[in-house]
Amino acid sequence: MEILRNRKVVLGITGSIAAYKAVEILRKLQKAGAEVKVAMTPSASKFISTLTLQTISGYPVYLEAVPENSPEIRHTSLSSWGELFIVAPATANTISKIAHGIADTSVTNLALCFGKGIICPAMNVRMYENPVTQKNLEILKNLGYEIVEPDSGYLACREKGKGRLAEVEDILDAAFYWFIPKLLKGKRVVVTAGATREYIDPVRFLSNPSSGKMGFELAKAARGAGAEVTLITGKTQLRTPYDIKRIDVETVEEMKEAVLEATKDVDIYISAAAIGDYRPIKREEKKIKKSERKLILELERTPDILKLIGEGKRNGQIVIGFAAETDNLVENARKKIEEKNLDAIVANDVKKGIFGSDKTEISFITKKGEFLISGSKEEVSIKIVQLIYENFFKGVEQRNVWLF
């Protein structure tokens, strides 16, 4: 996550059995390039040692407001140093204190100083579902905190229900979102990703090498920019990014039905999926047995989903396509803008090995201009979101204020 590189994060840990997972959160933040300092409540130190966290973070762990051997007031100095405050795990007790301005531990002191951050609850299901806890979480949301909801499952108390600390990768996604300017706040976005499959028989199909990485990164970038995001994806091994609605499809027909339904009232449609252009006219019901004879497949065109959406878009709706080309990149891409009534197209050269790679080079082309972008798919996706904002929505005063 390039966006977390050189960021300064303060990780608050409270007295939950899930405190041991804070080590993994700390390590993943560091791996992403962030510098992390740790604060713990006295209860948290009973679950995990300060020595462990001090050794991994490389900094003293904040346990007391004013350490005996130092005049430093740690909650003010750490809140001035840090760019993001994460409480993971956050107990019901600490959530209640933060919501009501009680500052009696290092973590709650920091909360008052930061005033916002990411809260990751972890507790018994009945404690979590208690109306008091839910009201406290609502208070925190209204104050500007991001709440990473807990997962459902088997809890430490041997009950089942919602209360397990969210997956570490989801917490990392929330940190990723935190640092993206909310340029698309209030917008609804649909992104397609991955490859479709068209079956020849029950075990063979026509497809392409798309991994889905670009579409998934675009969905994350749009969610980080404040949009409500639906991700419609073909077959992929990628995990669902945090707080994004995912719809899985396989064939072009399934993709078409999902897209037509999902785009009825959205503001932006980004077609990043590698949708097959042809399918067998006939699908065999049984496996085709191999033989010495040639196997001849008769193919037909699949529906052009992007053209359907472009031609049927309502006033103010933005439709963006992708063009994977092997020659005449810009020329062919510009033709598609006109033919499919698009607002912009992202063109890339497949000869440069874009499929499955973490890096890419694209041309973002509109009717007015062209922008060349290269870098990791994460970086490029964030820049595409910025270009969408700058070219099609208000707020030009934020031009040239960006991250990479």
Residues with catalytic roles:
157
Yes or no: say if 132 and 96 are a contact pair by the CB < 8 Å rule.
Answer: yes
Backbone φ, ψ for residue 142 (5° rounding): -70, -25
C-alpha distances out from residue 215 to 118, 212, 347, Å: 26, 6, 14
Name the nearest CA neighbour of 3 among 212, 148, 181, 160. 181
Phi-psi region at 375: left, alpha or beta (left = phi > 0; alpha = psi -120 to 50): left
Pairwise CA distance, residues 96 & 108, whole Å: 10
The alpha carbon dihedral of 359, 360, 361, 365 has a sign of negative
Name the nearest CA neighbour of 238 among 207, 220, 216. 216
Name the nearest CA neighbour of 213 among 230, 197, 193. 193
Contacts of 266 by beta carbon, 8 Å cutoff, 6+ apart: 188, 189, 190, 230, 317
Of how many residues is the chain composed? 404
Across 64-98, b (16+ Cβ under 10 Å) vs e yields ebeeeeeeeebbeebbeebebbbbbbbbbbbbbbb
Pairwise CA distance, residues 200 & 289, whole Å: 12
For residue 198, count CB atoms less than 10 angstroms from its CB and return exposed for 0-12, middle for 13-18, buried for 19 or more.
buried
Contacts of 388 by beta carbon, 8 Å cutoff, 6+ apart: 184, 268, 318, 320, 344
Residue 381 DSSP SS3: helix
Yes or no: say if 272 and 238 are a contact pair by the CB < 8 Å rule.
Answer: no
Q: Which two tokens stand for residue 304?
A: 């052009």
